[in-house]
C-alpha cells in the first residue's frame, strides 16, 4: 500500500510538472569564442561606456532585445559574431570599442535556436543597454529575406523560457532602443554614440507582443 502511494505521488508530481510548464525550446549549443581577450574587451567596454567595474563581465538580465542580422545565412552570421575583436568592416562602431558584437541567441530561418554564449555574459548588441539586455538575433532582413513564421514562433518560445529564468521587464526591438535614452536603465556615457537601427521593425515586434500579452512586461517609453 505504501509502495502504491509512493508511486502515485511520483506520477502526480510528474503530471503536474508536465501540465504547468510550457515545452522548453530546442536549443543547440554552438559557442563563439569567449577568451581572455573578449573578457578584457568586455570589461573595458563596461567601464568606458557605462562606468561599471565588475570583477567579471556578467549581466543581470531585465530586458530582451530582438534583432535581425541583415546577413542572409546562418553560417555567415555565426562567423560575424565568432571572433573577439570587431572586424575592419565595422568602422561605424570601431572607434567606440574593439569588442566584437555578439548575442547569446541566433535563430536560423527555419526557427532553429542556437546558443552562442551564456545568457548572463556581457554581449555588445545594443548601445546604452548591453549591461542588462539579452540579445536575440534572427537570420534575415526587412527586405529580401523577411523573418519567417518559424522564427516568430521560436522567438516567442525562447522569450517565454527566458522570462521564467530572469526578471524580464522589457521586450524591445533594436529599432526601439533610443526610446530608453532618458530611462534609468540607459547607461551610455557618450551622448554622441548612437546608431540608427530599423531591425526587426514594428510589424515583427507587434506579432511578438500579441503573443506575449500574458507576461508581466512593462510598456516601453514613448
Ligand atoms: Zn540589431
Q: In whole angstroms, give the CA distance from residue 105 to residue 71.
A: 15
Predicted model pTM: 0.90
What share of the chain in percent tops pLDDT 90? 85
Domain residue spans of the chain: 23-210
> In this structure, what C-alpha cell is assigned to residue 19?
501540465
Q: Give the pLDDT mean for 85-104.
A: 91
> In this structure, what C-alpha cell is assigned to residue 45?
567596454
**Residue 167 alpha carbon to ligand 1 centre in Å:** 22
**Residue 136 alpha carbon to ligand 1 centre in Å:** 9
**Residue 127 alpha carbon to ligand 1 centre in Å:** 10
17-68 pLDDT per residue, tens: 444 556 789 999 999 999 999 999 999 999 999 999 999 999 999 999 999 9
> Looking at domain 23-210, what is its CATH homologous superfamily?
Peptidoglycan recognition protein-like (3.40.80.10)
Q: Which residues contact 96 (CB under 8 A, 6 or more apart)?
A: 49, 190, 193
**Residue 10 alpha carbon to ligand 1 centre in Å:** 46
Its sign, for the CA torsion 160, 161, 164, 168, is: negative
Amino acid at each position: 500500500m505504501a509502495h502504491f502511494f509512493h508511486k502515485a505521488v511520483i506520477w502526480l508530481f510528474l503530471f503536474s510538472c508536465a501540465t504547468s510548464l510550457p515545452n522548453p525550446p530546442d536549443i543547440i549549443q554552438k559557442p563563439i569564442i569567449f577568451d581572455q581577450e573578449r573578457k578584457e574587451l568586455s570589461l573595458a567596454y563596461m567601464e568606458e561606456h557605462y562606468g561599471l567595474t565588475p570583477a567579471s563581465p556578467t549581466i543581470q538580465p531585465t530586458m530582451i532585445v530582438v534583432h535581425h542580422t541583415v546577413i542572409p545565412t546562418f553560417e555567415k552570421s555565426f562567423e560575424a559574431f565568432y571572433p573577439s575583436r570587431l572586424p575592419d568592416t565595422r568602422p561605424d562602431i570601431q572607434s567606440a570599442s574593439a569588442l566584437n558584437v555578439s548575442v547569446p541567441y541566433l535563430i536560423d530561418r527555419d526557427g532553429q535556436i542556437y546558443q552562442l554564449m551564456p545568457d548572463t555574459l556581457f554581449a555588445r548588441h545594443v548601445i546604452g543597454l548591453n549591461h542588462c539586455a539579452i540579445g536575440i538575433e534572427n537570420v534575415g532582413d526587412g527586405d529580401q529575406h523577411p523573418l519567417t513564421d518559424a522564427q516568430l514562433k521560436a522567438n516567442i518560445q525562447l522569450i517565454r523560457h527566458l522570462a521564467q529564468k530572469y526578471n524580464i521587464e522589457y521586450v524591445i526591438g533594436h529599432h526601439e532602443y533610443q526610446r530608453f535614452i532618458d530611462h534609468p536603465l540607459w547607461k551610455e556615457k557618450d551622448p554622441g554614440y548612437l546608431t540608427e537601427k530599423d531591425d526587426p521593425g514594428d510589424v515583427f515586434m507587434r506579432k511578438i507582443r500579441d503573443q506575449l500579452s500574458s507576461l508581466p512586461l512593462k510598456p516601453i517609453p514613448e
